[in-house]
Amino acid sequence: MDAAERKHLGRRTLLRATAVIPAAGTVAVASGTTPGYAGTPKPDGHHYDSASPRFSLAILPDTQYLFDADSSDPEPLRATFRYLVSQREDANIAFMAHLGDVTEHGSREEISLAATVFGTIHGKVPYSVLAGNHDIDSGTDDQRGDSAYLDAFGPRRFSSMPTFGGASADGYNSYHVLRAGGREWLVLALDWRVSASGLEWARKVLDAHPTLPAILTTHDLAWADDDGAAQLSDNGRRLWDGLIRGNDQIFLALSGHYWPPGRTILTNDAVKLPDPFEGDHAWMGILSWEGRNGDAGKTTGWSPDEPTCSLDVTPERFLQFVVYPQVQDADPTSWSHALPVGRWTHVAVVNDGHHTVVYVDGSKIARNPTQPSTGIATLGKPFVIGATQFQEKFGQGFYGWIGDTRIVGRALRPKDFMTSPA
């Protein structure tokens, strides 16, 4: 996405599409003999021009780090939703598709908070949501039965939405029919792991809408190497062989789960698997947690040979700041998005005597813990900036430069620490 597009559409990749294929009618479908949930698609509105040949789809990947136990910070997602609503007319946004991993642990508290935040966009821009491996028991498929996710993001949530077409009997797979570019389009939202009956349900939906170009969304489809060349995952291969290959009306497939972003083109008639979000893992993704120690009497960590305060960059270019407070038995850790390459980044770590907050280029990152953080526990060992350390030997470092480093004895406001040194 170039700068001009970002000016209008913000921090998410929006798929731009134009079509001149004749429109067709729609019906609701369920799998097997068990009735599914169904809705009646209706013409869309709310300052959106469904007849315009130029329109946008908003694609929202893994939001899990915004809904993570006591580190939850939903405000960035609220702001994203408010922005989409405000830009719906100018960008002609037809629909938003979430690609799974709404939350980090799938707890009822996290799911409930996420469902409330989705209320910001509900009734203003139609959307779909599907379960990722962090939202449910990752060892199950769409036949898992009841869950906190299904209670909040099951068919009942979408039944009044004008685009909603129906859901599989289990409730974990759904489809929408949206009108854009003067015709109708089909969007399939499939579970993290689709069962055989789920695949059969999807085939019946496609068979019932044979003239509609279809977009398939799911959580786990393709992964990419560092050059951005994508290939199907094991689950993606199953979807390709069992559903996509034999249905050439599926012209686009989108997924989250993996980083870095990538794309590929596979051939039935035309299937394209592009990266699901702008830039280089710009906002969300899957995080590999790394253990940290608790020394000076702490019990939360795994070894006293790690530093009690460190600022480093992970192999995925996530900025990580971890500190062991002097009083609390805790290891509050802040995580950023993936840092950009090829330019300087300003990082500020601010502790007001109660909590630690990390800023990147003057903006508070999304994943600052709410745990109290008072002082720094230490055994007189050095702190670490720019690398991991164990037994005072450096491990993972980042390939780059560290410029001006300042330490002050009081909490500064962003306007203070963003100024140049005297």
Closest CA to 161 of 128, 115, 202: 128
Cα dihedral value 66, 273, 228, 388, nearest 10:
30
pTM as predicted: 0.63
Round to whole Å and give the CA distance between 289 and 320: 10
Round to whole Å and give the CA distance between 114 and 98: 12
pLDDT at 408: 81
Tokens of 214: 């279809």
pLDDT at 314: 80
pLDDT at 300: 42
Cβ atoms of residues 297 and 350 within 8 Å: no
For 56, the 3-state DSSP assignment is strand
pLDDT in tens, 290-325: 222 232 333 344 466 777 778 888 877 888 888 877
Q: Which residue has 């995952």 as its token pair?
A: 233
Cβ atoms of residues 356 and 323 within 8 Å: yes
Tokens of 68: 């993570």
Handedness of CA 43, 29, 37, 176 (dihedral sign): negative
Residues whose CB is less than 8 angstroms from the CB of residue 316 and which lie 6 or more positions away in sequence, other chains included = 259, 281, 285, 287, 288, 338
Measure CA 38 to chain center.
27
Round to whole Å and give the CA distance between 205 and 188: 9
pLDDT at 379: 64
Q: Which residue has 């798929």 as its token pair?
A: 15
Round to whole Å and give the CA distance between 86 and 234: 39
Bridge partners of 263, per DSSP, are: 229
pLDDT at 420: 52
pLDDT at 288: 21
DSSP letter (8 states) at residue 116: H
Helix (H) or strand (E) holding 312: strand 309-313
pLDDT in tens, 393-417: 777 777 778 777 788 877 777 777 6
Cβ atoms of residues 190 and 217 within 8 Å: yes
Q: Characterize 312-324 residue by residue with b for buried, 16 or more Cβ atoms within 10 angstroms of its Cβ, and e for exposed.
A: bbbeebbbbbbbb
Cβ atoms of residues 377 and 325 within 8 Å: yes
pLDDT at 395: 75
One digit per residue, the tens of pLDDT, for the chain of length 422 reads 333 333 333 322 222 222 221 222 111 222 222 223 333 333 444 578 998 878 888 999 999 989 998 888 899 899 999 989 998 998 889 999 999 999 999 999 999 999 999 999 999 999 999 999 999 999 999 999 999 999 999 999 999 999 999 999 999 999 999 999 888 999 999 999 999 999 999 999 999 999 999 999 999 999 888 777 888 999 999 999 999 988 888 988 999 988 788 888 887 754 333 333 333 332 322 212 222 223 233 334 446 677 777 888 887 788 888 887 777 667 788 888 888 888 888 888 888 888 888 888 888 887 888 878 887 776 667 777 877 777 777 777 777 787 777 888 777 777 776 655 44
Domains contained in the chain, CATH given: 3-273 (3.60.21.10), 309-417 (no CATH)
